[in-house]
Chain A
Amino acid sequence: MISDFSTLRNNLKKDSSLLPSIRVALVGDTATQFLAAALKGTAIERGFKLDLFEADYNQVERQLLDPTSDLYAFEADYIVVFQSSHKLLSTFNKMPVDKQHILAEERIEFVKTIAAAVKSRLIYFNYPEIDDTVFGSYANKVERSFIYQVRKLNLLLMECGMETPNLFIGDIASIQNKLGRDAMFHPAIYIGSEMVLSLDAIPHVAARTLDIIAAIQGKFKKCLILDLDNTLWGGIVGDDGYEKLELGHELGIGKAFTEFQQWILKLKNRGVILAVCSKNNEETAREPFEKHPEMVLRLDDIAVFVANWENKADNIRQIQSILNFGFDSMVFLDDNPFERNIVRENLPDVTVPELPEDPSAYLEFLYGLNLFETAAFSNADADRTRQYQVEAQRAATQTSFINEADFLKSLHMESEVRPFNSFNMPRVSQLSQRSNQFNLRTIRYTEADIERLSGDPGFQNFSFTLTDKFGDNGLICVVILEKKNNETLFVDTWFMSCRVLKRGMEHFTLNTLVDYARQNGFKHIVGEYVPTAKNSMVKDHFIQLGFNQIGDSTRHLFNLEVDNYKMKECYITAI
């Protein structure tokens, strides 16, 4: 999500004349042209135009201490001061040994002086550590070692920041912690250019600086919207059951999800509002929050809880209408690339990080994005969740904003319909073992069973894939028809992955079945629903498709007259 330097520089060619402009002065003790270009380029990505004053380098004291300087004449909204660890080190190197222990004190006095002198906001970069190893680790016990003084200075800067409302610390030391010093600093280029930040590090420094400016300007993230399955916990609660989820230190990679939830809880306690947006039955989705002992997040922590089978763009619109935040203040986390793309496409203002595939990498990835910069904090922020929960209860369910048909058309869906064959059998049996929710009779077939069925003339098998413009969902639906007699087909098995609910796949599947029935002279298709603890979502499946109930009190049976069937509208093309 952080653009490289060339991209930032190319941003400057874009027309930014309509963007709100902010006056920023940049003063540094090393070459700052690259940082200046990156700040401007990053600002454009954030929706600002920087009117930038760049002081000639090495004029920090002169520009900041002289009230008649060009810098003050510019009347900046923000003054960014970048005094480098390098220059601090050379100051230190020239100090008499008996003065070296006051390096940090001296520098903090200067910072206090300029913070008092400037009327605008001051963004002062802290000091990435350079360990000159003169004392080795023993430096920690020597006040006059450089590393001792740098660390002390960074602490003093934090203390000074707490006391000084217009002083904001640009935490570039933490950028170096993330990237590493060898990536942050390019010695061969530094020698010829006075550049102390590598070209790779500069976009990160610019991003962190703009994070602060944007937050002060009121652009910051207020709401974190969370998917559940494989995002907050490992596994699919509807299929696996809440007891089998990967959470906590016992099971699988549960630790990754526990630590992830702990981070989210910290955000909530800081005042970020949490919402859930999940494709699940609401009851099922709530179960882990209520019953799983290793869940860190509880229902109390969630301001708005949306779990249904509608598309997530609509659901986020509903969350937005309840919370009344701008879409640009929302972050949406989901492990599923399809859902991320749907939300990006329909709600371009929502921030949708491209989460890594491996859940163990979620946290470090998100740390690197610094999504939740803030310009203020008070303890009262932590209690805001409650008031939004009340609001959520009040709000009625909103109607869908997107025209469903247009939405489905836009997906350009294609399905490959095939009988069982050696390529798809492993996946068919795997899905048969795992599919719990959208499964009409929940008969489990092993690969050997599937192979036997595929050769049995008494059965007709269908497997369906689904591809859309965002990618291939793979094999997602299976139907096994048993030929009861010359006129009647019995739906022995019909299961489907819940990922593709609400795409018209059920209609496409039934059209395919009726097609087959007609071509082979069958008159009736009989379906059955066998209730389990997990498949209540398909209780009315056959009724909704136009079947008539024919069962008695012992079996839920349904019949479809093939001749009377009208092909259902759907937006999936058979290939």
Chain B
Amino acid sequence: MEMEDTHKQVEDIFRDILDEGSLTLTRETTANDVDGWDSLTHIQLIVAIEKKFSVKFSSKEILSWKNVGELLDSLYQRVSI
């Protein structure tokens, strides 16, 4: 799987859960930049990404992400790309 594909699929998950069809994610995007990305939807997003890619994040990772890029890096480590 290519990194761009993964990025795109994560973006689709965000669009779906946050109900923002035109949302664009960059590596620098943070929760503050996106309407509706609150502590509740954050957990929905994690669970949806875990399901989509059949991975489990560690508790430490979940707490450590400061932006989308860090989340993606955790994901890249777990899926073969």
Contacts and interface: CB of A to CB of B under 8 A. Distances in A.
| Chain B, interface SS category | helix
B77 interface: no
Interface string B43-60: 110111000000011110
Given A187-B59, A188-B57, A192-B62, A6 B43 contact: no
Given A6-B17, A186-B47, A189-B47, A34 B40 contact: yes
A567 B48 CA distance: 58
A35 to B, nearest CB: 11
A191 B63 CA distance: 9
Pick the most buried of A5, A10, A33, A192: most chain B CB atoms within 10 A of its CB: A192
A193 interface: yes
Nearest to B61: A188
Interface string A198-219: 1110000000000000000000
Contacts of A195: 43
A34 B59 contact: no
A34 B44 CA distance: 10
A37 interface: yes
Interface string B19-33: 100000000000000
Given A34-B40, A34-B43, A189-B43, A10 B19 contact: yes
Contacts of B16: 6
B39 interface: yes
Nearest to A5: B44
Given A6-B17, A192-B62, A192-B63, A199 B43 contact: yes
Contacts of B19: 10
A191 B59 contact: yes
Nearest to A10: B19
A193 B57 contact: no
A198 B47 CA distance: 9
What bracket does the count of chain B residues touching chain A fall in?
10 to 19
A9 B41 CA distance: 10
Contacts of A187: 59
Given A6-B17, A10-B19, A199-B47, A188 B56 contact: yes
Contacts of B58: 188
A195 B62 CA distance: 14
Contact of A188 (B39, B40, B44, B62): B62
Residue among A10, A37, A187, A189 with the most chain B CB within 10 A? A189
Contacts of A186: 47
A121 B58 CA distance: 40
A185 to B, nearest CB: 13
Contact of A199 (B44, B56, B57): B44
Interface in A417-449: none
5 contacts: A6-B44, A10-B19, A33-B39, A189-B59, A192-B62
Shortest Cβ-Cβ A-B pairs, 10 listed: A191-B59, A188-B59, A199-B47, A192-B63, A192-B62, A33-B40, A188-B62, A189-B43, A188-B58, A188-B57
Interface of B: 16-17, 19, 39-40, 43-44, 46-48, 56-59, 62-63
Interface of A: 5-6, 9-10, 33-34, 37, 186-189, 191-193, 195, 198-200
Given A34-B43, A188-B58, A192-B59, 16 more contacts: A6-B16, A6-B44, A33-B39, A37-B40, A186-B47, A188-B56, A188-B57, A188-B62, A189-B47, A189-B62, A191-B59, A192-B63, A193-B39, A195-B43, A199-B43, A199-B47
